[in-house]
Structure 1
Amino acid sequence: MKILAIIPARGGSKGVPGKNIKELGGKPLLAYTVDSVKESRLIDKFILSSEDEEIIKIARDLGVEVPFVRPESLAQDQSGSIGVVQHAVDYFEKKGEFFDAVILLQVTSPFREKVFIDQAIKKFIKSDADALVSVLPVPHEYNPHWVFEENEKGDLKIATGESEIIKRRQDLPNAYFRDGSIYLTKTEFIKKGSFFGEKLSFIESNPETYVNIDTLTDWEKAEKMLSDM
């Protein structure tokens, strides 16, 4: 299976200004994801997608291929990641280079374990899924079978639609939330505008090394985690 890795890194972050190249532990945040991709043995090509000249320069200094400048229309606050990936796939296919799947690796999840990417790819291939995402377990108190939502009368109903609540924690099914560290999808579904396809597999991240940096509080958490590693 031929796999393209894409690191999306636009400028203009508001939660943590300049976060993609802001130094964390003495190196740009971007470098952590670059290092994790370089450790992979199963990725055929990896690139950075950005519209920002400074980010592009630093990425190239880190040894990352930057084959194009991302269109400004795909670098706005409301721009979705699927459009960014579709643009990259289209760019390469116009040059006669085709990939079976794309793995999207966000800079905001810097502390992937050394073999995590290849473990994800191996599970993706073995499962013959359309897509795979990284996840973390939902704490039992937030399990969807214990979550309520308001109905049209202003009363509460169980979010899953069941008439009776599951009484014992031990009887709750496992539930997960996608953590944003890995999105791995067959190219045919990327072209259809989906990261998830019809058959979705998953891999669990390590909660002890996981952080998703979106705010200054997240950044401070990452600094503390790094100092404890």
Structure 2
Amino acid sequence: MKILGLIPARGGSKGIPGKNIKPLDGKPLLQYTIEAAKRANLLSRIVLSSEDEEIITAAKRLGLEAPFQRPKELAGDSSGSLEVIEHALQFFSDAGEKFDAVCLLQPTSPFRRENLIDDAVNEFIRGGFDSLLSVREVPEEFNPHWVFEEENGGLKIATGEKEIIPRRQELPKAYHRDGAIYLTKTNVIKDQNSLYGKKIGFIDTTGDPYVNIDAPEDWEKAERLLAMITGQ
């Protein structure tokens, strides 16, 4: 299977200015994801998608391919990952290069365990999934079967059930996306205009170090995690 590894890194972050190339323990944030992608054996090609010339220059200096510049209209606060992926696929299609799937690797989730990407690709292929996500288990108190939504001034169980599951032992496992890996078949992206399709697989990262960097407090958490990982 031919898989495009796509690292999206736009400029203009408001929460943490210059986030993608800001040094984290002496390395640009972007470098953590580049290194993880390069360790993978099952990505056919790894490229950057950015509209920002400074990020493109930094990525090339780090050995990442940046064969195009993303249009600025796909780099705003409201721009979605799907449109960014579609743009990259169209660029390669116009150049005569096709991919069976895309692996989106967001720099804002910098900590990926050894072999995570290859393990995810193998599970994606083995399961014949439309897509595969890296996920973490939701704590019991936030399980959707124990979560309420507001309705007409009152509350209803978020899952639509009439009765609360009484015992935690009876709760089914629930997961949330951690942002580290999104794998999707190209035909699902193109034909269904979707990152997910109908058959979604997952790889569990619950036991791994985790941060999704969006705000200054997330950056501080990343620094603490790195200190723990490196023993500093």
Shorter-chain TM-score category? over 0.9
2:135–2:206 CA contact under 8 A, matched in 1: no
For 2:5, give the aligned amino acid. Answer: A
Superposed CA offset, 1:28-68 (max 9, x none): 00000000000000000010000101100010011111011
Give the stretch that moved more between structures: 202-211 or 167-176. 202-211
Offset of residue 193 of structure 1: 2.0
Superposed CA offset, 1:47-104 (max 9, x none): 0000101100010011111011100110111111110000000110111100000000
For 1:161, give the aligned amino acid. Answer: G
The alignment's TM-score, normalised by the length of structure 2, stands at: 0.96
Offset of residue 186 of structure 1: 0.1
| Structure 2 residue aligned with 1:29 | 29
Offset of residue 208 of structure 1: 3.9
1:95 & 1:43 partners in 2: Cα distance? Answer: 19
For 1:205, give the aligned amino acid. Answer: T
1:178 & 1:208 partners in 2: Cα distance? Answer: 13
2:141 & 2:134 partners in 1: Cα distance? Answer: 21
| Structure 2 residue aligned with 1:189 | 188
| Structure 2 residue aligned with 1:45 | 45
| Structure 2 residue aligned with 1:173 | 172
For 1:9, give the aligned amino acid. Answer: A
2:166 & 2:34 partners in 1: Cα distance? Answer: 46
Q: Any residues of structure 2 matched to 1:38-187 within 5 Å, and which?
A: 38-152=38-152, 154-187=153-186
1:79 & 1:161 partners in 2: Cα distance? Answer: 31
Offset of residue 121 of structure 1: 0.3
Aligned length: 228
2:81 & 2:53 partners in 1: Cα distance? Answer: 19
2:47–2:64 CA contact under 8 A, matched in 1: yes
Superposed CA offset, 1:113-149 (max 9, x none): 1110000000000000000001110110111111111
| Structure 1 residue aligned with 2:16 | 16
1:215 & 1:63 partners in 2: Cα distance? Answer: 27
Give the stretch that moved more between structures: 198-207 or 104-113. 198-207
SS of the residue corresponding to residue 20 of structure 1 reads: helix
Runs of at least 5 residues in structure 1 that lack an aligned partner in the other structure: none
SS of the residue corresponding to residue 150 of structure 1 reads: strand
Structure 1 consecutive aligned stretches of length 4 or more whose deviation exceeds 4 Å: none
For 1:25, give the aligned amino acid. Answer: D
CA RMSD between the two structures: 0.8
Offset of residue 157 of structure 1: 1.2
For 1:167, give the aligned amino acid. Answer: P
Runs of at least 5 residues in structure 2 that lack an aligned partner in the other structure: none
2:45 & 2:133 partners in 1: Cα distance? Answer: 20
Offset of residue 187 of structure 1: 0.3
1:57 & 1:65 partners in 2: Cα distance? Answer: 10
2:165 & 2:228 partners in 1: Cα distance? Answer: 39
2:147 & 2:84 partners in 1: Cα distance? Answer: 34
SS of the residue corresponding to residue 14 of structure 2 reads: coil
2:159 & 2:74 partners in 1: Cα distance? Answer: 35
The percent identity for this pair of structures is 60
Offset of residue 207 of structure 1: 4.1
